[in-house]
Amino acid sequence: MAEATVAERSPMNPDFVGLMPGLMADPYPLFARLRAGPPVFWAPKEGAWVLHRHAEIEAVLSDRGFRVTELAEGVAEIGERTGKPTPILSGLLKTFLPFINPPDHDLARRYYRAVLSAGSMDGAAEAITALARDLLAEVPPGGRFDAVTGYAELLPPLVMAWFLGLPGSLIRDYALASAELGRVYDRGCSPRFLARMEAMLVAQRVPIQHEVAVRRAAGPDASTDGLSRMIALADELQPMTDHAIADHAMALIFAATENTAALIGNAVAALAEAGPQCDLSVADDATCLAAVREVLRFDAPVQQMWRVAQHEVMLSGARVAAGDRLLLLIGAAQRDPAIYSDPDQFDPLRFATGTRAWRSLSLGRGMHYCLGSELGMLEAAIALKLIARRKPRPDPAQAITRDDRSTLRRVRHLPLILIPERSDNHENI
């Protein structure tokens, strides 16, 4: 039976693999070539259907007949079979919304949504601005500055520390220690890698669980910070141990820092690489937010998503069977010429006029739409606005490098030269 089904899978692309090193460095030329072929094809090397156009990907993301792949299960199976169990990593992945399905998903989403509810963001813009300014104050005379290691990857942990009411150094250390954790979204992480992540999480959870215990002991009215709210909401919605709350806090921090760091880094890189004709040095908040939307289209952090079909379905000529896996090339859909004119052009003002609808898929769709999107985009817009005033340009003496990862596209080093801060900058913000 299985062989018959495989034989029926067409159209087929025998060579496609979504993890090729060249694809990670610059996936867009390949995406352009895929457009000349069928919109949905079977990739035997992936054991999955591959989708690359906006229309099919949007339809699949919006359809509850497709479930996400449950990473925790695969990681747990590897741990069992190799004798290197990773219960903390598996437990953390079970609280991670992009990789869990209903009913667990709905309960966890309700919880995170309550934690991130509107009132909790009061003062966020001011806090983010102050933190970003502090980071830019560290730019040395001469203006040479790595805008990833000195800015993009530091700001989101500091913002989460502000949100949760925890020491900035604690969250920064966790974010930097867990920087490699996102590789588990890519396929094939080895048992030694997973064991290394397990050991990292065991160590990193100690201080966070301690903070939970301190707040629990102090009682519900002792503090109003985000972590206290997580405890109070857990007691209200689904009573949890300190350990489980620490897991949820760690998942929240991880989700809120990694993608946002990637978004800020990709945004600043796009701006710097576009050259002087792309000048946002006097741009206002709305223009910077529009520019961030364009970055989510032009060079989205989340490049790939996976789904599993729950029932047989025809997708643009391909017969997808129940149980088949689908690889959604989000980065390709974001440059679909059927949706966007001149899609390979970075145009920070593309969404600034309000005449063009923003239909990004990079934050997901439907029930998996990113819960932290507003906070993440606010952080990125402020970060972009403040650094744009320093007219960043690439440092010709050093190369811009990107992570060799397929799911998350992220600048690793972004050496720039910034002009000195103008004394009137502060009044303009």
Minimum CB–partner distance for residue 324 and other proteins (Å):
14
Please give the structure tokens belonging to residue 308: 């599993």
Locate the DSSP E strands across 213-290: none
- Hunting for tokens 């760690």 — which residue is that? 250
Site string for other proteins, 171-200 (x = CB under 8 A): ------------x--xxxxxxxx--x----
Q: Which is nearer to other proteins, 124 or 321 (CB)?
A: 321
Q: Considering only 15-23, 236-244, 330-338, 368-376, which stretch makes contact with other proteins by CB under 8 A?
A: 15-23
Question: What b/e string do you get for 191-220 counting C-beta neighbours within 10 Å, with b at 16 or more?
Answer: eeebbbbbebbeebbeebbebbeebbeeee
Q: Which is nearer to other proteins, 257 or 406 (CB)?
A: 406
- Does residue 126 belong to the site contacting other proteins (CB under 8 A)? no
Q: Is 377 within 8 Å of 292 (Cβ atoms)?
A: yes
Question: Least distance (Å) from other proteins to the CB of residue 93?
Answer: 15
What string marks each residue from 369 to 408 as x (binds other proteins by CB under 8 A) or -?
-------------------------------------x--
Kindly state the smallest distance separating residue 273's Cβ from other proteins, in Å: 26
Q: Which of residues 24-53 bind other proteins (CB under 8 A)?
A: 44-45, 47
CA–CA distance from 198 to each of 87, 174, 190, 192 (Å)?
A: 8, 13, 12, 10
Q: How many CB atoms lie under 10 A from the CB of residue 311?
A: 10
Decide whether 38 or 74 has the Cβ nearer to other proteins. Answer: 74
| Min CB(204)–other proteins separation in Å | 20
Between 16 and 151, whose beta carbon lies closer to other proteins? 16
Burial class (CB in 10 A: 0-12, 13-18, 19+), 277: exposed
Candidates 3, 4, 33, 81: give the one binding other proteins (CB under 8 A). 81
Distances (CA, A) of 253 to 132, 138, 189, 275, 364: 18, 24, 22, 33, 19
Which C-beta is closer to other proteins: that of 15 or that of 221? 15
User: Rounded CA gap, 374 and 113, in Å?
Assistant: 12
Beta-carbon count within 10 A of 251 CB:
19
How many residues touch other proteins (CB under 8 A)?
A: 24
* Apex 214 CA angle, 210 and 219, nearest 5: 150
Q: Does 77 bind other proteins (CB under 8 A)?
A: yes
Kindly write out the interface string for residues 131-170 of this chain, putting x where it contacts other proteins by CB under 8 A and - elsewhere: ----------------------------------------
The β-bridge partners of 402 are 411
Residues that bind other proteins (CB under 8 A): 17, 19-21, 44-45, 47, 74, 77-78, 81-82, 84, 183, 186-193, 196, 406
